Amino acid sequence: MHSVWAVATNTIKQALRVKIAAVFIILLMVLLTVMGTTMTGDGTLKGRLQTFVSYGLSLTSLLLCLLTIIISIFSLTSDIDQRQIYTVLTKPIRRYQILLGKLLGVLLLDVALLVLFSALIYNITIYLPQYIKANEMQRIEANNEFFTARVDLPPAEVDATQEVLDTYKKLQTSGQLEEMFPGMSGKEIIAQLTNQKKLQMRAAEVGRDLLWEFHNVRPADPNGRLFIKFKYDVSGVGSSDLTVYGRWFIGAWQFIRYGIASETPVYDRVHSHSIRTFHEIDAPAQVVPKDGHLAVGFLNVPANNTVVIFSEDPKVLYKADTFTANFVRAVLLILLRLIFLACLGISAATFLSFPVAILLSLMIFFIASFSSFFMESFDFLGENLSSIYRYTVRPIILLMPQFDKFNPTKFLVSGQYFSWFLLAKVTFLLICIKAILLFSLGLLIFSFREIAKIII
């Protein structure tokens, strides 16, 4: 441990004195302060907070990721290129201790910088409402939708497979299948029918209602608020400033669905909202029954005189944790990325020269940052080369981390609850499997390679 620590402190000294870190630190310091004071977003306090946190945290994450890649690679490749490793390796230190020392050094620096910058972002965020002297309404909005950590609960999935299969069979027997879906395989037709069915289930004709079922609704504060988030659309062209009147019911599922008496009150109100943007209605959390089995109903008021469509299912939101705790978890999520990248960089540096290792690591970083895009495009390509694709490209893509899937800013901006459980899952996938796998590979290569042989 003593020698690991010696290497670690040396790595930190190198990063600081060679001024790689200094460039990033100064850049980030300046940018964050400027962003905090100038960014206005959509003009409201919430918009301003969202823009700042989103850009600030993304920028911090991006720059620290780049810094981590550069330092972890530079630290090892410069030792090998400039041959300081000769004098280090001939001391009583094992090779894995050198790599561990480098990793420890990079991570300590990362933790220090991450704490510094996230503290800066956090403080600017917390003091922003006072700084811009926002009015009371804006503050309430910000408190409800930004300074919170809300669970974002989708309704229970309605199983439509049987109905879809029935329709399919009916069409098949009546011979309309070929006519309606020319040149499509059975699989594709079923997929299309399922989509149609789902759309149908989210469309309310005039005077008709829709009902969604929610399980496990457990607000942290029973006297707090409960939010329904939704987006209206209408059939036909309809101008976008059209307003839809909707009567909303929120209450115990047993009562609304089956009429069984319940102790909890039922929320029942008519709201008007414009179409094609997300809106939230808030209700007291007291409407939630003890078993957490909630029903949300929507009635298309006849005055609308049009079919109302929900392009997505509405969601139930309620506060489950504080903004601060959520922020801490978001920062930890960034740290996980950094740990992965440090392992990646050090492993790459064990067998590649500086520019090549940087190129490789940056490539992986960008693929990880746009992983869903890559996955989709490869899935699309792979349809034609399915078996080759399945055994070659796909495993590699699956081994790549998915930074965009667990984007810390996405959670913070929408005030969405990011649970410890989810964090543990990411830790397991990203660190326990991918990072450790990579680092072990690096250890293996470094333990057996000839150090004095220069690799170009």
Partner 1 sequence: MEYAVETFSLTKIFSDWWGRERVRAVDELNLKVRYNEIFGLLGPNGSGKTTTIKMLLGLLYPTKGRAVVLGGDGADPKINIRIGFLPEESYLYRYLNARETLDFYGRLFRIPAKVRKMRIEALLDMVGLKAVANRPVGTFSKGMARRIGLAQALINDPDLLILDEPTTGLDPIGTRQIKDLVLELAKRGKTVLLCSHLLADVEDVCDRIAILYGGKIQIEGQVKELLQQTHKKQITTDAISDTAVEKIKQIIQQEHAQCDISSPMDKLEAFFIKTVSSAEHQALPTNGAVSTTHISSFLAPDASAEDILDKLVSASVSAQPPVEPVTTEQVVPVETPEPTRQGEGPAVVPKGDEDLLSKLTEPAPASSDASRGGGPSQPDKTKAVVKNNEEIKTKPVESQEQAQKNILDKLTKDENTAREQTAESEAGDFGDA
Helix (H, G, I), strand (E, B) or coil at 352: coil
Q: How many residues bind partner 1 (CB under 8 A)?
A: 26
By CB under 8 A, tell whether 456 contacts partner 1.
no
Nearer to partner 1, 394 or 449 (CB): 449
Least CB distance to partner 1 at residue 356 (A): 16
Q: Check residue 72 for interaction with partner 1 (CB under 8 A).
A: no
> Does the protein bind partner 1 through residue 170 (CB under 8 A)?
no
Cross-strand bridge partners of residue 213: 295
How far, in Å, CA of 228 to CA of 278, rounded?
10
Instruction: Report if residue 10 touches partner 1, rule: CB under 8 A.
Output: yes
How far apart, in whole angstroms, are the C-alpha atoms of residue 207 and residue 289? 27
CA distance 31 to 71: 21
**DSSP readout, 55-88?**
HHHHHHHHHHHHHHHHHHHHHHHHHHHTTHHHHH
89 binds partner 1 (CB under 8 A): yes
Between 161 and 447, whose beta carbon lies closer to partner 1?
447
Task: Please name which of 101, 150, 207 lies closest in space to residue 418, comparing C-alpha atoms.
Answer: 150
Nearer Cβ to partner 1 (15/333):
15
Distance CA 313, CA 316 (A): 10
In 10 A of CB 63, how many CB atoms? 18
Residue 187 as a binder of partner 1 (CB under 8 A): the answer is no
Nearer Cβ to partner 1 (14/60): 14
Contact call for residue 162 and partner 1 (CB under 8 A): no
Contact between 72 and 342 (Cβ < 8 Å): yes
87 binds partner 1 (CB under 8 A): yes
Buried b (16+ CB within 10 A) or exposed e, 248-263: bbbbbbbbbeeeeebe
Closest contact distance (angstroms) between CB of 450 and partner 1 is 5
Binding of partner 1 by 83 (CB under 8 A): yes
Among 2, 133, 157, 241, binds partner 1 (CB under 8 A): 2
DSSP H helices, 90-160, are: 95-131, 136-145
Cβ burial, residue 391 (10 Å; 0-12/13-18/19+): exposed
Of 43, 92, 175, 236, the one binding partner 1 by CB under 8 A: 92
**Minimum CB distance to partner 1 smaller for 98 or for 287:** 98
Binders of partner 1 in range 421-450 (CB under 8 A): 450
User: Is residue 18 part of the contact set for partner 1 (CB under 8 A)?
Assistant: yes
Closest distance between partner 1 and the C-beta of residue 25, in Å? 17
Determine which residue in the list 25, 66, 93, 203 makes contact with partner 1, applying CB under 8 A.
Answer: 93
- Which residues sit at the interface with partner 1, rule CB under 8 A? 2-3, 5-6, 10, 13-14, 17-18, 82-94, 450-453
